Amino acid sequence: SQQGEEDPQALSIQEGENATMNCSYKTSINNLQWYRQNSGRGLVHLILIRSNEREKHSGRLRVTLDTSKKSSSLLITASRAADTASYFCATDPDNAGNMLTFGGGTRLMVKP
Amino acid sequence: DGGITQSPKYLFRKEGQNVTLSCEQNLNHDAMYWYRQDPGQGLRLIYYSQIVNDFQKGDIAEGYSVSREKKESFPLTVTSAQKNPTAFYLCASSIDPGGPYNEQFFGPGTRLTVL
């Protein structure tokens, strides 16, 4: 079952703009992770935020977590054409034996 | 060069055939996973293994089987009982599935098509 749901399902922006993707989930979690997938490839781990953290940065990525609203957002600043990919959130529910549950993903297209 | 390898990259199956997808890792990770991804969709867990000689069913295990005889290897067999096997299959591993930093490392995937 999919715990995380990304919004929007698809996003198209111009190079240089910021891209924001959201993830909502249903049950309490240990952590939430964001992954990137280029077309036809495997997923690459981007960032992990623990349930007791509210914000985390990694390069041009900024992730926030609001456990009261059961939601997270991924912000990519100053986007590049190479950021074109699908982005997935994955939750680690605290009652699921540490099995990650992936959402349906946001397909981001960055136009040069 | 550490990582996860999957083979083959593309696989074609005739109806009624069993096929086996290979997944090997040299990261010394204890846990390994198999996911199925349909076009435009997220990942669904088929099977996972947290230790050698032990594995558990995921959300969509019907029609699939696995083995974990070695730490490095976690092959997936798609049996003829799987009615709609055409999909992209991803293998992953993690070093600390029970801990707070359980990020997964993925292989490049195998695209299976039923003819």
Distance (Å) of CA B31 to CA A88, A100, A103, B55: 21, 12, 21, 9
CB contact under 8 A, B42 and A48: no
Chain B closest CA to A60's CA: distance in Å?
20
pLDDT band at B1 (very low <50, low <70, confident <90, very high): low
Chain mean pLDDT for chain A: 92
CB contact under 8 A, B58 and A92: no
CB contact under 8 A, B102 and A41: no
Torsion sign across C-alpha atoms B105, B45, A82, A50: negative
For residue B111, how many other CB atoms are within 10 A of its CB?
A: 15
pLDDT band at B8 (very low <50, low <70, confident <90, very high): very high
Residues constituting chain A: 112
- Quote the pLDDT of residue A1: 43
**Which residue in chain B has the smallest CA separation from A43?**
B106
Contacts of A98 in chain B (CB under 8 A): 97-99, 102
Instruction: Give CA–CA dist A16/A63, Å, rounded.
Output: 19
CB contact under 8 A, A43 and B97: no
For residue B58, how many other CB atoms are within 10 A of its CB?
A: 17
- Quote the pLDDT of residue A5: 84
Does residue B75 register a pLDDT over 70? yes
A15-27 tens-digit pLDDT: 999 999 999 999 8
Chain mean pLDDT for chain B: 92
B18-42 tens-digit pLDDT: 999 999 999 999 999 999 999 988 9
Cβ proximity of A77 and A17 under 8 Å: no
Nearest to B23 by CA among B85, B87, B93, B79: B93
Does residue B100 register a pLDDT over 70? no
A42: contact with B, CB 8 A cutoff: yes
Percent of chain A at pLDDT exceeding 90? 81
- Quote the pLDDT of residue A96: 58
pLDDT band at B85 (very low <50, low <70, confident <90, very high): very high
- Quote the pLDDT of residue A3: 62
**Which residue in chain A has the smallest CA separation from B101?**
A48
Q: What is the mean pLDDT of residues B38-47?
A: 93
Does residue B7 register a pLDDT over 60? yes
Angle of CA points A13, A15, A16, to nearest 5°: 105
Cβ proximity of A67 and A51 under 8 Å: yes
